[in-house]
Amino acid sequence: MDLSRKLTGILAAGILAAGSLTVPVPVSAAGRSAPSTRDFANGPERNDIAALTTSLPLTAAARAATPAAAKHRGYPRRTGLRVYPENPADKSIKLGLVPYHAIAPHLNALQRASDRVSAEIAGHSALGRDLYLVTVTAPETAAEATRQDRWRALIENDPAAARRDRALARDYKTPVWINANIHGNEWEGTDGALRVIERLATATDTATARLLSRTRIYVTVTNNPDGRIAGTRANGAGFDINRDHATSSQPESRAVRDVVIATQPVVMLDEHGYTGTTLIEPATPPHGQNYEYDLYIKHALPNALGMEAAIQKLGYAETARADIPFRDYAPGDWDDWPPIFTPMYAIYQGAVGHTVEVPLQVNGGLYDSLPVAELRRRSGINTAVAASTIGAAITYADTHRAQLLADQIEQFRRGWAGAPSPVIPDGYVDGFGPEDHYSTTFPRAYVIPAGTAQRSPAAAARLVDHLVAHDVRVTQAKVPFALNGKKYPAGSYVVDMHQPKRGLANVLLEAGRDISDLVPQMYDISGWSHRLLWGASVDISRTAAPRTRTKPVTIASPTGAVTATPGRNLSLTLRDAADVRALNSLLDQGITVRRTDASTVVVPAAARRAAQDAASRFGVRFTAADRKATGTVVTRPVVAAAAAADELFALREMGFEVRPVSTALLNAGTADLTGVDTLVVSSGLSYSQLNTTAKATLDAVLTHAGVVTRGSTGAAFNTAANLLPATAVAGRGDANGVVNVTNTGPVVGAGSLPNSFVYSPLWFTGTGFTVEQRYAATRPLVAGHWLPTGPGVGGQAQAAGQAAVVSGTTARGGRAVLFGTEPLFRTHPKGLYAQFARALYWSAG
């Protein structure tokens, strides 16, 4: 066991900060320093910088129809890529790198010059730009390409037959996938990938020809063109794409999801930067407990060592060594626990996935402060590192193709067979020890009920469609059935865990695990659960699968309905985001809707046709309203929001009119507060930092408008603006995960899920307000990581039983709701959206 991986944690000393961290220097067994740095996962911007917009599309001309893909299925597929106008503002130009507008002409030229290169459009960015997928391989006829497709399907669908197929073992082209530039201001992966593509396309040696005769190399050249051009980590909607793979809210993550499913790579790299020293995964524990980790680490570690050797051969002082977290770091310092990162997600799809971080920083403040010559020197080295790691990984995949192929087949075989999670002995690879043991017991099946047994039919359909899109096998019962003493109607969905990608199915649906006592800190989220947070009812069957007739699901059945008889007023319960979208759609049409309580609205019988349209469009169900129901008229609130990009996205997704606001906009007098009904404060708005005029303007709004806050910025605003007499208490800054809650209040608490999500959790003390939701009375965390800030401070024990969400009438006469939880976090906890929406309607009066 490598003693340098002791449980001390190189981030422990600074983990409570919410900003960018400079990591203290780890020391390896050989006594070498490893001066790596990394951005802290969530970043200070989420609470400090209000988003001003999300996803402003390109002009109609720029979004002209993408050229059609080649009609034949062989290779090469010479797609003429559309060429974008030159953009002198592209941030990559200063670094001497390839600007986005030059990529298509370069690929078009390579396609004309070489029969080894095919370029296609894999999707589009948030702002509508093309996402390029390049395939480099020896030419194939349509029949040969079809045979490759059949073999790839056989590996997943019938691994036992694939293992016996000698022709497959001999002639299958093992796929390798390279993903570049997922963080827009980590540029050089694109340039390194283009260098490798060009070399492979033009090489005349027999070794390259042999390589391409037995390999397909797929490259997503820039996964984030919007960020590449703007010099931002996030995409054009303000999202970190490399946190979105379990949620798929962004077009860029959906595009690469589809690429990895369609190509089924045995090895993949995700090229990033900048860590001071080149960093190459495999990662530290905690390791994802749903991996077939033995099949992964046996290749990941030697492949990383090969990439380290390749960068050493470059001869730069800055590339004399690499950091390999599995070998060099303490548990929790660079983990592979959540499926939100591209390489970790790819592991579940059958790949040996690696993050590669090129070494020399050229972004952030250094982009503006360093001389251009130094920036270009650094980018030149970074490009060489990216190219050399890509080349070394391709070499490893080719050299070990037989074993990589056999192990991918074995991963899928275990899934179909329902084999137990692997038990890996210490010493399995150099440095594998007790701290690396993570495994799970897979359930036999999950059941998603249909009909009245389902809490939210729209949420159930959304979850099923999400699973299917990720290549999780879902079936639907043709007839009623019973399982574990419970009866299920026909139409219920079954996720039989005897399937090839059972690890992915389970990592999305399981509750997860509280790993607080296992590692001292985590880099990013440690808990998530589509079963607990997406709003659908999902049952677990530990040992038995349903014995009933089923059919495979490609898309969920429609769920919308109006069940009341004609002439009856209609009732809609706001349990899910789909219900909120339906309500806002009706309000947009000028239909008079009344609210009988915070979670229930009544639509007049005369609007039945509009309700039917909303039911069909959004999948919601209208039932018969109580004949005596009256209530108050609901209007769609006009919302001014000082909020993070993910929150703006979620609010607009639910159909709210949202006007961005911030301290800067208010002080400049450019914030539009006309007719605002509710103010959302979670990021970038400080009451104490407003100038006199701005404060007076906002004070006038607060005399009639409601306020909804989230997090530390919102809590500080509440105190400074003298709204509710609630004192916010902060949990540890990196604490996060799925929590148990008790719903007690009439607004947020009404009909809410028994679980919520937290990141940097808060709770509220005091009197003079209504407690809407409390953390569970004992150890609230279901899954994730939550340690105390210090002895008896900021931990789960201190939060237990405390108020997580509160509401009340403010000292100014308006209404306010304060969230200590994260109901819109990265648009992931979709089953919590309606809580926030109900708070908006209620606070707006």
CB neighbours of 62 closer than 8 A, spacing ≥ 6?
84, 128, 129
| Tens digit of each residue's pLDDT (9 = 90 or more) over 34-44 | 435 445 444 55
Q: Which of 164-178, 306-320, 458-472, 622-636 has the lowest mean pLDDT?
A: 622-636
pLDDT (mean) for 628-633: 91
First to last CA, the chain: 62
SS3 category, 112: helix
Dihedral sign for Cα atoms in the order 248, 253, 257, 258: positive
Residue 106 near residue 194, CB atoms below 8 Å: yes
SS3 category, 728: strand
Residue 744 near residue 774, CB atoms below 8 Å: yes
Backbone angles phi, psi at 561, to 5 degrees: -165, 155
- pLDDT band, very low/low/confident/very high, at 70 (cuts 50, 70, 90): very low
Residue 756 near residue 741, CB atoms below 8 Å: yes
pLDDT (mean) for 501-510: 98
| Res 664 pLDDT > 50 | yes
* Tally of residues, the chain: 845
Supply the mean pLDDT for the chain: 92
Ordered DSSP codes for 188-249: HHHHHHHHHHHHHHH--SHHHHHHHHSEEEEEES-S-HHHHHHT-SS-TTS--GGG-TTT--
Backbone angles phi, psi at 740, to 5 degrees: -85, 135
DSSP state of 140: B
Amino acid (1-letter code) at residue 726: A
Identify which of 27, 57, 218 has the alpha carbon closest to the alpha carbon of residue 128: 57
How much is the pLDDT for 45? 59
| Tens digit of each residue's pLDDT (9 = 90 or more) over 680-715 | 999 999 999 999 999 999 999 999 999 999 999 999
Question: b/e map of 783-822 (b: 16 or more CB within 10 Å)?
Answer: bbbbbbbeeeebbbebbbebbbbbbbebebebbbbbbbbb
Torsional class of 668: left (φ above 0), alpha (ψ -120 to 50), beta (otherwise): alpha
Identify which of 352, 344, 354, 245 has the alpha carbon closest to the alpha carbon of residue 290: 344
Query: What is the Cα–Cα distance from 832 to 844, expressed in whole angstroms?
Result: 19
How much is the pLDDT for 48? 80
| Res 808 pLDDT > 80 | yes
Q: Give the number of other Cβ atoms within 10 Å of residue 372's Cβ.
A: 10
| Tens digit of each residue's pLDDT (9 = 90 or more) over 603-625 | 999 999 999 999 999 999 999 99
Kind plus residue range of the DSSP H or E element containing 808? strand 803-809
For 59, counting Cβ atoms within 10 Å of its Cβ (0-12 exposed, 13-18 middle, 19+ buried), the class is exposed
The token pair that represents 481 in the structure block:
């059935």
- The reported pTM is 0.94
How much is the pLDDT for 275? 97
Crossing angle, helix 293-312 and helix 372-399, to 10 degrees?
Answer: 130
pLDDT (mean) for 161-177: 98
